Structure 1
């Protein structure tokens, strides 16, 4: 049996919405990381953030091209997410270099978990593309090393960064819930129907658990 036109249209819309969210996320990450590099205590650290920012822009370019190949206007795909993403970053402005590094790490890992989870409902080609773009990479490990180095240099940072990390992940999960409810196709309810709110809550619980394990690995309390 073939896929119905309605199902194919829904799958295509889901792909466009997810890639649009990812594209704006990477574009905003590029600007945020470039701006936050001003907090860097050394030129080396500043260059590290600059390299990560360039990587974010590279991901944006890949997503932009993919949307165009699908016949979707990249700007139109990103626009529905601009306001909520920008508000999130306004609410979570870092106060110094250490908070900038923690924010970059938390947002990088939590958003990657979210995008990979939703990609399970896409066609195999798009799913593999999302997994490739959203998979943890060298930048994730670099950020982890920066946090560990900071904690080793000044153990007193642990309590402050743990508190900041909890605030960030709380805001990030609220953002994920909001995106899932405002754009229902991005909620994991395609698994066979069911209550959208319950599905989104289940996903955010899973994201929180993964975040907690990462924080424990850093010696921080999630």
Structure 2
């Protein structure tokens, strides 16, 4: 879920696209990105479910995976409603996301849960930033598919229990979380530059845009730190 500090910042500094064509390009890129991340989230949660230590964990992760696939289908339908081929819109993001997942292969089931918790949280913040400059229908869809409180709450509570049962896991998972944050921010920066989202910041000078980018990424880090503190970890 988005933190209050993020909402306050975006009220002051929403993205404003210079033309309808620029906004349309940004919208399609965002939909393609979200669609593929939702599809890969479904795949990873399904795989994690099979490795669960208890039947309850397996059932719950299975339900979370189904939710992610439903999100994927909603985004895919919105792309199709615009008369476009979903694969053409999604394909530009596949290699980068797949490579990021290869670099962040979890060592065990608990690292898998931490990865879902961290990546989904940072992604939700980043998507909301981009969607702030798009038409209301797209913004509403982004909020719907990327702020699933039930998924986030369960991941947090299950990780809290895992750390309570074995406190030594906390420091290892905190270190893993820092690595995941770095990967997530690097991908957000690369995508923002590739699709010129940062050029859409409503500032007069290039130096000012750089300062706004720094502030925005600081908020992404602050929100991540807040989520990790809820696990009893230092980000």
TM normalised by structure 2 equals 0.86
Instruction: In structure 2, list runs of 5 or more residues that go unmatched.
Output: 1-17
Structure-2 residue corresponding to 1:121: 133
Q: Which has the higher contact order (CA 8 A, sep 6+)?
A: 2
Does the alignment pair 1:77 with 2:89? Answer: yes
In the TM superposition, what is the alpha-carbon distance from 1:36 to its structure 2 partner?
2.3
Structure-1 residue corresponding to 2:200: 189
* Aligned pair partner of 1:204 in 195, 212, 217: 217
Quote the Cα distance in structure 1 between the aligned partners of 2:190 and 2:158. 31
Aligned residues between the structures: 216
Instruction: In structure 1, list runs of 5 or more residues that go unmatched.
Output: 1-5
Structure-1 residue corresponding to 2:75: 63
Structure-2 residue corresponding to 1:219: 232
Quote the Cα distance in structure 2 between the aligned partners of 1:202 and 1:194. 15
State the Cα RMSD in Å.
1.7
Q: Is the 8 A contact 1:94 1:100 kept in 2?
A: yes
Tell me the alpha carbon deviations over residues 120-145 of structure 1, each in whole angstroms, 9 at most, x when there is no partner.
01012221221122223211111111
Q: Is the 8 A contact 2:26 2:195 kept in 1?
A: no
Q: Which region of structure 1 is more displaced relative to structure 2, 112-121 or 199-208?
A: 199-208
Q: Secondary structure at the match of 1:142?
A: helix
Tell me the alpha carbon deviations over residues 163-212 of structure 1, each in whole angstroms, 9 at most, x when there is no partner.
01111111111111111112213x37343465365554433222111001
Provide closer, same or farther for how the CA distance between residues 72 and 203 of structure 1 changes in structure 2, counting only shifts above 3 A: farther
Structure-2 residue corresponding to 1:45: 57
Structure-2 residue corresponding to 1:164: 176
